[in-house]
């Protein structure tokens, strides 16, 4: 039976202190009904024989010790999941359908009896299957150089003003698995502004892929605590479809920086000891509890792949959020401001990017036999190209030898023809690789030392 | 942990009086319980460790999350600290940070794949039978560490069944050769007071060092097959090394290479707060990779401990001590054991999280003030020791424990507390460099910042394995010094080169730049994923570096005679030297000798054709 309290002993910031006189569950959700008609949510944070401490998720302004009823729900955070009527729709952080343009709840609720605890439990490391199947995003820079593997977590490190939203929308619209297996995309907007949300949904609708997308949106002006809940709601839904319904699920989380700031805000309200830049010491473990909900499990067909997006404050990759993320995820795609100014889209800084799981996923069986050699050669030659660019600023273009001039042409082509593509241009693996060979053929054969001879004979264009 | 809840006294039963994060307060146990003993929350099967004792309650940190628990839940005293079960069945197995058997848990979960709360499965199988061969005879006087028999635990490792420390007596009974479980009685020891029946299993608390007779100086290298390490920054068996590096600098690849190729007998791989997929990778790889000597999968010499980043932090804190305790046990059998801990920063962060919950006064960056003492209690368990047991031959029984801990400094900043503190307790330091990684130079071990104190200890070993080349009379130790000298000179020249351009330097300095490039690209650079390059034996290593140093010495002579560095750069043999890493297998030393002959020939013919033009 649910219990109602009518008196709050103390209110300190987001924390309410009640005197303990009943059986409380640790982590239990409480509802706080004020006499002005508002409802707030909270959770049991600490308890002992005298006192229960509740962390309130919304603003505590206006609460007094006497003006509220506090209901203990005897429940933890749960999300209702339906097998059928979630596809193509948009939900808020509590899993209720919403109308984006009005930011309002929609009437139709999900009717289902499937309820899942949003905190989940860790995957047994022994039960994990090492990921080795690819996802095609249709974007050459990703598919060719940093192939996304099913079960991988591959973040995008971006900055304000860079086109990460466009890139994400394009990935979501185009991504597919090459086998004929069911594929689902879960889009989770964390603290994003309404314009962004509408942009995403319009792009998803245009793509014709909308029936494979479930969206969860937390707006920038929604309560801070909901930012901490929504990725877990999205991932709980993902786990259900991946491991109980055997689907391949791609989860896009944007923007993790908003999430981390929410975490910092609550931590500081709780007067915890901060570590770097005011972020709590448990930032790593907390982010890991999101990112690690990715992967494949032995004996199950489905998989969860994550693309978290984060904007690096003042483009600094050493900021705690990207830094901590980079330690947990399996690689990263870094967007670069100079490439963006040059008009290259997507402006992926290839030398700072990596996909750690790629080596076991690509090749004859999944993409193409020459893929590994080609990607390694492209990166190596592009790195040489950048050295030549530096050299030009000293000796001028006239001072270059034949090989360096070839590199110069290669590098320009690499940026313009390989990296650069249209916002709705969907290239498959073999198109990506054939563009790669076209530009590699700018270089003399002797410079392509990372490619095996038999591939040279087969693919090099004289 | 599971078998001791019989015959409970009243003072062994308490109840939860407060919950905060992973901490609970318990009333009723405060008069009997010892600090660091374990407790169990009965109805959930959750285990915790007592960390504070107050006059009216105790505080315990639990190894699992406490959601949905209520106050007044019954808690019992388990009367023992967190201990490892030590017996056959550890090798090629995988455990979490408090030795829960992950494979068994998965099998019992009926394919669920997630870690449920309060799983109670014994760490080591009680049903599996091992073939025990007695080696001691009745009436022998035995004491702790002595071997009573053996079990072939895996085809790679013979497990010696030792008398637990602190036991002694006359062997009054021993079973015949045959198949037994680890809890079957296999022998009895009789002394003045009593007769004790023992089985193959012993338990040992993780935070207590296992005893040894005395410690001796290391004199054998832990040979890794990674050229940068074996030549420049070697470690000894029984040594300690820290490997700091920002993300993407290749810490994990180095740890995995070491686990694959280093010459330790037993490896304990502790995945502490790292990625789940990485552990899946290790499991898959080590099942696949075959030990060249025995033809068996390498997994058979490995114990894996996986407490990934999303598993409970208190178990993460325990994990490195769990690993080192298992390692000490195999050390006591006389094996050379290596503990690879990836990453000790995550371990330190778990300390910080728990310390935060306890509202302790923090020192630097929120880490508790006892971080240094905790770190030292881990690294100090490394070493070469004379074990307490006698070996069958009557000779001293030696075992070693090497600790290689990776460190993940935030923002790659090596001055942060964990890196800086760790440096004080280790003898070797491999600094991984983000710039090297960015330019795809792997292993990204920075040759200027890294160091090792071990060369003096182990130079004898290398000296015995020297390849004598009359043309260049230096051994491994000499090679190291020369390489260090050249690389540090190159570093000094860096600034000036950028200013005036390489072409404008004097010939001797251009030689330094040229040889440094050869050392970097033809020696230090190593591809861990290439079938030939992934492991370099000592002979090939010496051959490779001597080729480069020989070229250096000969060129110096040529420059004195008036030749130019450009003449030398055109040698065909340069290309051969650069290709040795990935084209000459370890067992084909003749190829290296051929390259040497070619090198000398090209020098000779240069001298002849140009006849020594003076500048």
CB atoms inside a 10 Å sphere around CB A419 = 24
Q: How many residues does chain B have?
A: 615
- Tell if the CB–CB gap between A28 and B68 is shorter than 8 Å: yes
- Tell if the CB–CB gap between A323 and B247 is shorter than 8 Å: yes
Minimal CA separation from A99 to chain B, in Å: 33
Q: What is the largest CA-CA distance in chain A?
A: 85
CB atoms inside a 10 Å sphere around CB B34 = 11
Nearest by CB to B19, which of A47, A282, A328? A47
C-alpha Rg value of chain B to the nearest Å:
28
Domain assignment present for residue A307? The answer is yes
Positive/negative CA dihedral, A143, A144, A150, A155: negative
* Whether residue A53 is found in the same domain as residue A92: no
Chain B residue with Cα closest to A75: B68
8-state DSSP, B347: H
* Whether residue A267 is found in the same domain as residue A148: yes
Q: What's the CATH code of the domain at A34?
A: 2.40.10.170
Where in chain B are all domains bearing CATH 2.40.10.170? 10-81
Nearest by CB to A281, which of B273, B276, B356? B356
CB atoms inside a 10 Å sphere around CB B393 = 7
Strands A303-311 and A248-254: parallel
Where in chain B are all domains bearing CATH 1.10.1140.10? 476-610
Minimal CA separation from B8 to chain A, in Å: 25
Evaluate whether B213 touches B433 at the Cβ level (below 8 Å): no
- Tell if the CB–CB gap between A300 and B113 is shorter than 8 Å: yes
Nearest by CB to A76, which of B68, B271, B306? B68
pLDDT tier for residue B392 given thresholds of 50, 70 and 90: low
In chain A, residues 140-199 whose CB comes closer than 8 Å to chain B: 151-152
* Second CATH level (architecture) for the domain B130-205: Beta Barrel (2.40)
What does the block give as tokens for A389? 């660019």
Q: Where among A72, A97, A124 does a domain terminate? A: A72
CA A20 – CA A54 distance, rounded (Å): 11
pLDDT score of B496? 86
- Over residues B470-483, the mean pLDDT reads 94
Domain assignment present for residue A156? The answer is yes
* Whether residue A352 is found in the same domain as residue A382: no
CA A328 – CA A295 distance, rounded (Å): 13
Closest by Cα among A43, A343, A295 to B275: A295
- Residue B169 sits at φ, ψ, to 5 deg, of 150, -170
Domain assignment present for residue A195? The answer is yes
- Tell if the CB–CB gap between A126 and B106 is shorter than 8 Å: yes
**Helix, coil or strand: residue A46:** strand
Chain B residue with Cα closest to A394: B501
Which residue, chain included where needed, has tokens 């087969």?
Answer: A458
Evaluate whether A228 touches A253 at the Cβ level (below 8 Å): no
* Whether residue A60 is found in the same domain as residue A102: no
8-state DSSP, A118: T
CA B171 – CA A52 distance, rounded (Å): 59
Minimal CA separation from A75 to chain B, in Å: 8
Is some CB atom of chain B closer than 8 A to the CB atom of A23?
Answer: yes
8-state DSSP, A280: B
Residues 6+ positions from A162 with CB-CB distance below 8 Å: A311, A335, A337, A340, A347
Evaluate whether A253 touches A308 at the Cβ level (below 8 Å): yes
Evaluate whether B432 touches B243 at the Cβ level (below 8 Å): yes
CA B525 – CA B520 distance, rounded (Å): 6
- Tell if the CB–CB gap between B67 and A119 is shorter than 8 Å: yes
Chain B residue with Cα closest to A326: B247
Provide the domain count of chain A. 3
Nearest by CB to A320, which of B113, B277, B410? B410
Closest by Cα among A196, A311, A173 to A250: A173
Domain assignment present for residue A365? The answer is no
* Whether residue A129 is found in the same domain as residue A67: no
* Whether residue A68 is found in the same domain as residue A88: no
Which residue, chain included where needed, has tokens 């778990």?
Answer: B350
pLDDT tier for residue B566 given thresholds of 50, 70 and 90: confident
- Over residues B431-450, the mean pLDDT reads 91
For the ranges A221-235, A282-296, A333-347, which has the lowest average pLDDT?
A221-235
- Tell if the CB–CB gap between B116 and A121 is shorter than 8 Å: yes
The alpha carbon of B347 is separated from its chain's Cα centroid by a whole number of angstroms, namely: 15
Which residue, chain included where needed, has tokens 């308490």?
Answer: B14
- Residue B258 sits at φ, ψ, to 5 deg, of -60, -45
pLDDT of B615 higher than 50: no
CA B508 – CA B493 distance, rounded (Å): 12
Q: Domain B476-610 maps to which CATH number in 1.10.1140.10, 3.30.565.10, 3.40.50.720, 1.10.10.10?
A: 1.10.1140.10
Residues 6+ positions from B250 with CB-CB distance below 8 Å: B432, B437, B442, B443, B444
CB atoms inside a 10 Å sphere around CB A393 = 7
**Helix, coil or strand: residue B189:** strand
Q: Domain B214-279+309-455 maps to which CATH number in 3.40.50.970, 3.40.50.300, 3.30.1230.10, 3.30.2320.50?
A: 3.40.50.300
* Whether residue A17 is found in the same domain as residue A115: no
CA distances from B208 to B36, B211, B449 (A): 11, 9, 34
B10-81: in CATH 3.40.50.970? no
Question: In this predicted model, what pLDDT tens digit does every residue of B290-300 receive, in sequence order?
Answer: 877 778 898 99
Residues 6+ positions from A267 with CB-CB distance below 8 Å: A274, A279, A280
Where in chain B are all domains bearing CATH 2.40.50.100? 130-205
Which residues of chain A have a CB within 8 Å of the CB of B439? Answer: 383
Percent of chain B with pLDDT over 90: 74
pLDDT score of B1? 42
Position with higher pLDDT, B186 vs A13: B186
Residue B52, beta-bridge partner list: B59
pLDDT score of A109? 62
Q: Mean of the per-residue pLDDT values for chain A?
A: 91
Evaluate whether B157 touches B136 at the Cβ level (below 8 Å): no
- Over residues A307-330, the mean pLDDT reads 94
pLDDT of B393 higher than 80: no
pLDDT of B8 higher than 80: no
The alpha carbon of B186 is separated from its chain's Cα centroid by a whole number of angstroms, namely: 33
Evaluate whether A160 touches A309 at the Cβ level (below 8 Å): no
* Whether residue A138 is found in the same domain as residue A108: yes
Strands B23-27 and B58-62: antiparallel
CA B217 – CA B235 distance, rounded (Å): 13
pLDDT of B3 higher than 60: no
pLDDT of B394 higher than 80: no
pLDDT tier for residue A108 given thresholds of 50, 70 and 90: low
Evaluate whether B385 touches B399 at the Cβ level (below 8 Å): yes
Q: How many residues does chain A have?
A: 462
Minimal CA separation from B576 to chain A, in Å: 14
8-state DSSP, A139: -
Q: Where among A332, A360, A388 does a domain terminate? A: A360
* Whether residue A18 is found in the same domain as residue A100: no
- Residue A336 sits at φ, ψ, to 5 deg, of -120, 130
The C-alpha angle A35, A38, A41, rounded to 5 degrees, equals: 115
Question: In this predicted model, what pLDDT tens digit does every residue of A188-213 receive, in sequence order?
Answer: 999 999 999 999 999 999 988 889 99
Question: In this predicted model, what pLDDT tens digit does every residue of B140-184 receive, in sequence order?
Answer: 999 999 999 999 999 999 999 999 999 999 999 999 999 999 999
In chain A, residues 198-257 whose CB comes closer than 8 Å to chain B: 243
Q: Where among A22, A44, A72 does a domain terminate? A: A72
**Helix, coil or strand: residue A245:** coil
- Over residues B598-612, the mean pLDDT reads 83
CA B28 – CA B38 distance, rounded (Å): 15
Q: Mean of the per-residue pLDDT values for chain B?
A: 92
CA distances from B286 to B259, B270, B345, B549 (A): 9, 14, 25, 37
* Whether residue A63 is found in the same domain as residue A85: no
Strands B168-174 and B187-190: antiparallel
CB atoms inside a 10 Å sphere around CB B288 = 10
Closest by Cα among A357, A354, A381 to A444: A381
Minimal CA separation from B359 to chain A, in Å: 9
CA A149 – CA B411 distance, rounded (Å): 26
CA B540 – CA B594 distance, rounded (Å): 13
Counting one residue from chain A and one from chain B, the pairs whose CB atoms sit within 8 A come to 190
Closest by Cα among B605, B506, B608, B595 to B559: B506
Minimal CA separation from B211 to chain A, in Å: 33
* Whether residue A233 is found in the same domain as residue A326: yes
Angle between helices B476-500 and B507-519 (to 10 degrees): 120
Residue A12: domain span = 3-72
- Over residues B335-362, the mean pLDDT reads 92
What does the block give as tokens for B533? 């390059």
What does the block give as tokens for A237? 């839904």
* Whether residue A236 is found in the same domain as residue A90: yes
CA A430 – CA A436 distance, rounded (Å): 10
Domain assignment present for residue A366? The answer is no
């Amino acid at each position: 039976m649910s219990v109602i309290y009518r008196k709050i002993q103390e209110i300190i910031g987001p924390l309410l202190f009640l005197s303990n006189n009943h059986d409380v569950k640790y982590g239990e959700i409480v509802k706080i009904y004020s006499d002005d008609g508002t409802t707030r949510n909270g959770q049991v944070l600490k308890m002992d024989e005298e006192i229960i401490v509740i962390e309130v998720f919304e603003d505590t302004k206006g609460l007094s010790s006497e003006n509220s009823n506090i209901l203990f729900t005897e429940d933890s955070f749960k999300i209702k999941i339906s097998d059928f009527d979630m596809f193509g729709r948009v939900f808020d952080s509590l899993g209720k359908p919403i109308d984006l343009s009005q930011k309002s709840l929609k009437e139709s609720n999900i009717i289902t009896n499937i309820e899942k605890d949003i905190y989940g439990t860790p995957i047994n490391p022994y039960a994990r299957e090492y990921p080795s199947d690819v996802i095609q995003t249709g974007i050459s820079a990703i598919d060719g150089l940093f192939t996304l593997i099913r079960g991988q977590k591959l973040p995008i490190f971006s900055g304000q003003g860079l086109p990460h939203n466009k890139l994400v929308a394009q990935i979501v619209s185009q991504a597919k698995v090459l086998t004929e297996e069911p594929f689902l995309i879960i889009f989770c907007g964390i603290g994003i502004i309404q314009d962004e949300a509408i942009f995403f949904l319009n792009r998803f609708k245009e793509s014709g892929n909308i029936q494979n997308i479930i969206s969860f949106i937390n707006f920038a002006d929604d309560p801070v605590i909901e930012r901490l809940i929504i990725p877990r709601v999205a991932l709980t839904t993902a786990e259900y479809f991946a491991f109980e319904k055997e689907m391949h699920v791609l989860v896009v989380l944007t923007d993790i920086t908003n999430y981390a700031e929410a975490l910092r805000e609550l931590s500081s309200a709780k007067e915890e000891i901060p570590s770097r830049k005011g972020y709590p010491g448990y930032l790593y473990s907390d982010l890991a509890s999101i990112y690690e909900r990715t992967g494949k499990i032995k004996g199950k067909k489905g998989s969860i792949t994550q693309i978290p997006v984060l904007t690096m404050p003042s483009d600094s990759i050493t900021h705690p959020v990207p830094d901590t993320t980079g330690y947990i995820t399996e690689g990263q795609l870094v967007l670069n401001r100079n490439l963006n100014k040059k008009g290259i889209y997507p402006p992926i800084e290839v030398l700072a990017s990596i996909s750690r799981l790629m080596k076991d996923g690509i090749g004859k069986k999944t993409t193409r036999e020459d893929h590994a050699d080609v990607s390694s050669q492209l990166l190596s030659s592009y790195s040489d190209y950048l050295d030549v660019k530096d050299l030009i600023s000293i000796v001028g273009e006239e001072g270059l030898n034949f090989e360096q001039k070839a590199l110069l042409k290669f590098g320009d082509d690499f940026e313009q023809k390989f990296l650069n593509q249209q916002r709705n241009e969907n290239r498959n693996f073999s198109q990506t690789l054939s563009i790669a060979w076209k530009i590699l053929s700018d270089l003399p054969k002797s410079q392509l030392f990372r490619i095996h001879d038999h591939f040279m004979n087969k693919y090099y264009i004289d | 942990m599971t078998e001791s809840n019989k015959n409970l006294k009243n003072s062994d039963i308490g109840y939860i009086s407060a919950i905060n994060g992973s901490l609970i307060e318990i009333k009723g146990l405060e008069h009997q319980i010892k600090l660091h003993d374990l407790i169990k929350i009965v109805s959930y099967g959750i285990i915790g460790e007592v960390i504070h004792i107050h006059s009216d309650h105790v505080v315990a940190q639990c190894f699992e999350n406490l959601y949905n628990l209520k106050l007044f839940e019954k808690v019992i005293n388990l009367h023992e600290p967190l201990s490892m079960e030590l017996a056959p069945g550890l090798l090629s197995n995988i455990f979490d940070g408090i030795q829960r058997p992950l494979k068994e848990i998965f099998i019992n979960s009926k394919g669920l794949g997630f870690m449920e709360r309060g799983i109670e499965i014994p760490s080591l199988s009680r049903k599996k039978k091992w073939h025990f061969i007695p080696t001691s005879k009745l009436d022998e006087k035995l004491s702790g560490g002595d071997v009573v028999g053996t079990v072939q635990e895996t085809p790679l490792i013979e497990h010696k069944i030792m008398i637990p420390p602190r036991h002694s007596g006359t062997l009054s009974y021993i079973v015949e050769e045959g198949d037994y479980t680890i809890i079957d009685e296999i022998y009895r020891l009789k002394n003045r007071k009593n007769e004790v029946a023992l089985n193959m299993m012993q338990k040992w608390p993780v935070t207590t060092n296992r005893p040894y007779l005395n410690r001796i100086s290391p004199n054998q290298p832990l040979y890794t097959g990674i050229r940068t390490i074996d030549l420049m920054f070697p470690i000894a068996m029984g040594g300690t090394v820290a490997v700091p590096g920002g993300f993407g600098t290749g810490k994990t690849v180095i740890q995995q290479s070491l686990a694959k190729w280093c010459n330790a007998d037993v490896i304990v791989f502790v995945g502490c707060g790292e990625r789940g997929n990485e552990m899946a990778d290790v499991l898959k790889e080590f099942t696949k990779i075959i030990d060249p000597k025995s033809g068996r999968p390498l997994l058979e010499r490995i114990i894996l401990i996986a407490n990934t980043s999303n598993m409970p932090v208190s178990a993460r804190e325990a994990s490195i001590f769990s690993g080192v305790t298992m390692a000490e046990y195999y050390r006591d059998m006389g094996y050379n054991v290596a503990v690879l801990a990836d990453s000790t920063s995550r371990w330190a962060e778990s300390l910080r999280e728990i310390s935060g919950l306890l509202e302790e006064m923090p020192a630097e960056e929120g880490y508790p003030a006892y971080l240094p003492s905790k770190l030292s209690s881990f690294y100090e368990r490394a070493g070469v020791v004379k074990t307490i047991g006698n070996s069958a031959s009557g000779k001293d029984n030696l075992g070693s424990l090497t600790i290689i801990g990776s460190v993940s400094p935030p923002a790659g900043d090596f001055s942060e507390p964990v890196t800086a503190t760790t440096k004080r307790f280790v003898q070797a330091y491999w600094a991984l460099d983000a710039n090297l990684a960015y330019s795809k130079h792997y292993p990204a071990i920075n040759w200027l910042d890294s160091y090792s104190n071990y060369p003096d200890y182990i130079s004898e070993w290398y000296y015995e394995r020297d390849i004598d080349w009359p043309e260049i009379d230096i051994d491994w130790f000499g090679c190291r010094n020369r390489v260090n000298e050249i690389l540090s000179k190159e570093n000094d020249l860096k600034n000036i080169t950028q200013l005036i351009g390489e072409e404008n330097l004097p010939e001797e300095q251009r030689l330094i730049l040229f040889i440094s490039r050869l050392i970097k690209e033809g020696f230090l650079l190593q591809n861990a994923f290439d079938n030939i390059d992934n492991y370099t034996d000592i002979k090939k290593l010496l051959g490779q570096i001597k080729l480069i140093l020989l070229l250096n010495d000969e060129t110096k002579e040529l420059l004195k005679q008036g030749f130019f560095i450009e003449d030398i750069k055109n040698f065909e043999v340069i290309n051969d030297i650069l290709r040795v890493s990935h084209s000459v297998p370890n067992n084909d030393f003749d190829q290296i000798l051929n390259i040497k002959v070619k090198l000398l020939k090209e020098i000779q013919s240069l001298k002849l054709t140009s006849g020594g033009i003076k500048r």
